Amino acid sequence: MLTEEDYKTGQVLLIDKPLNWTSFQVVNKLRWEIRQKFNIKKIKVGHAGTLDPLATGLLIICTGKMTKQINTFQGQIKEYTGTIVLGSTTPSYDLESEINKTFSTDHITNELVEETTKQFIGEIDQFPPIFSALKKDGKRLYEYARAGEEVEIKSRRITIEAFEITRFENNEVDFRVVCSKGTYIRSLAHDFGKALQSGGHLSVLRRTKIGDYHINNATSIEAFIEALDT
């Protein structure tokens, strides 16, 4: 059982983030639970890489002095699995916003889907989604988006090490992606649909790995709290 001193010295906690939670909410919840357990006023707790509310999976949470290592974790290679729906787009590139355009998918074959993935492997330029927390001129991009304001977004150089299709059925493409820091899987879904001339948006996303840390070794928030209380 971990002590107050253990958490202050520094722990790396692997949490399986549930659907509809922000990464910030997970950090706040764990910090509150640790403070309550040991009756302490302050303890540093932070996460090493945001997951969107509609994404689930591996969130690395650092406590105490281990928060100094957050940048190191953020820079590591990540693996995701998920589903891209072809034939329609949304402004947020995922299910956070409503479908705004639909396209024919009659021309899409298994072979075309497999062939198109090759365009995205290696170093590529990617535009982050307008519905993102990146800042421009002191404001987050999603603030401009929600206000209906046009804003210029610069592309970023990212690396996709693997883009594997695991299922293609009824316009749904299940995938596994291994990528560098700064990659937006929502943007990949949008660009993939565009390359197929059918539009596409992300419907499911799960982070399965960060560096050598795997989702199989992560625990739920409930299980963490239960272990804390024993």
Question: Annotated active-site positions, please?
Answer: 52
The percentage of the chain sitting over the pLDDT mark of 70, rounded to a whole number, equals 97
Q: Each residue of 12-47: pLDDT tens digit?
A: 999 999 999 999 999 999 999 999 999 999 999 999
Pair 1, 230: CB distance under 8 Å: yes
Q: What's the confidence (pLDDT) of residue 230? A: 79
4-74+213-229 has which fold?
Answer: Pseudouridine synthase (3.30.2350)
Break the chain down into helix, strand, coil percent, rounded to 5: 30, 35, 35
Q: What does the pLDDT average to over 155-160?
A: 96
Q: Each residue of 79-99: pLDDT tens digit?
A: 999 999 999 999 999 999 999
Domain ranges (residues) in the chain:
4-74+213-229, 78-210
Structure tokens at 227: 């272990």
Q: What's the confidence (pLDDT) of residue 80? A: 98
Q: What's the confidence (pLDDT) of residue 139? A: 74
Q: What's the confidence (pLDDT) of residue 152? A: 76
Query: Where would I find the H helices in 118-172?
Result: 141-146
CATH number for the domain running over 78-210:
3.30.2350.10
| Backbone CA torsion sign across 218, 94, 194, 144 | negative
Q: What's the confidence (pLDDT) of residue 90? A: 96
Q: What does the pLDDT average to over 115-144?
A: 84
Domains 4-74+213-229 and 78-210 share a fold: yes
Q: 151 pLDDT exceeds 90?
A: no
C-alpha span between 220 and 205 (Å, rounded): 17
**Whole-angstrom distance between the N-terminal and C-terminal Cα of the chain?**
8
- Of 39-43, 46-50, 103-107, 150-154, give the lowest mean pLDDT range: 150-154
Q: What does the pLDDT average to over 191-213?
A: 98
C-alpha span between 69 and 186 (Å, rounded): 27
Q: 144 pLDDT exceeds 70?
A: no
